[in-house]
């Protein structure tokens, strides 16, 4: 199954890069949030520095969610998803591959670029290494949960809105512990390390549960 997983990931990454728009739209949305947030809050630099980690995580969360409805839509519409369901690889492997491909093309670039862009919000530069690490870990769970929501709503009209309603409550723990792991100056290094460990545990749980739930939802739609 490792070969099938790698082949599916490579296929989806190639298609995403060839089609374009997904990463660009997510990054554009992120830039809009970063640019307009200080205008709405005001020129208080101390306040901006205090809320910058939370603002970065909210922007990352919404940017990843923006491209979630594209994970299965193209394959569902052209019949490729049915072919995959009849193939040798289980649907759980297909769902995991699509989630990882979404992370590589949307979540990972944003997780790397988001913290440096946070300097526009007067983010404390000493927080950059921890924030990058937390976002790299947390963005994987964001993509896994987004893929699960996309599988539940595949084939439905206005599925993007339904994905948001289904997945946003599941994003709350990631947001809480992601901000805690990123803002070391708020609660100290011990709190940040504990939050990072919990964030890793959430990712491991998502790796196990999300593909199973996504595969079950896909089977229900393809019957």
Give 20-29 pLDDT, tens digit per residue.
656 677 778 8
**Structure tokens that stand for 98 in this block:** 């699509």
- What pTM did the predictor assign? 0.87
pLDDT at position 212, please? 93
For residue 42, the enclosing domain spans: 2-222
CA 177 to chain centre: 15
Which portions of the chain are predicted below pLDDT 70? 1, 20-23, 157-160, 183-191
Q: For residues 166 and 149, is the Cβ–Cβ distance under 8 A?
A: yes
**Structural domain tally of the chain?**
1
């Amino acid at each position: 199954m490792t070969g099938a997983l790698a082949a599916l990931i490579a296929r989806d990454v190639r298609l995403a890069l060839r089609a374009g728009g997904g990463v660009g739209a997510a990054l554009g949305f992120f830039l809009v949030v970063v640019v307009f947030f200080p205008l709405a809050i005001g020129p208080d630099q101390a306040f901006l520095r205090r809320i910058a980690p939370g603002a970065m995580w909210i922007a990352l969360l919404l940017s990843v969610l923006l491209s979630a409805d594209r994970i299965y839509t193209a394959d569902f519409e052209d019949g490729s998803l049915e072919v995959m369901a009849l193939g040798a690889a289980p649907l759980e492997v297909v769902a995991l591959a699509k989630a990882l491909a979404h992370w590589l093309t949307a979540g990972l670039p944003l997780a790397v670029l988001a913290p440096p862009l946070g300097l526009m919000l007067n983010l404390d530069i000493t927080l950059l290494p921890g924030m990058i690490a937390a976002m790299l870990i947390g963005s994987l769970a964001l993509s896994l949960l987004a893929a699960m929501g996309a599988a539940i709503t595949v084939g439905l009209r206005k599925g993007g809105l339904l994905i948001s309603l289904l997945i946003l409550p599941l994003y709350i723990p990631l947001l809480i512990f992601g901000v805690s792991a990123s803002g070391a100056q708020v609660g100290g290094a011990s709190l940040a390390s504990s939050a990072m460990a919990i964030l890793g545990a959430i990712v491991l749980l998502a790796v196990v549960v999300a593909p199973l739930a996504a595969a079950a939802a896909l089977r229900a739609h393809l019957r």
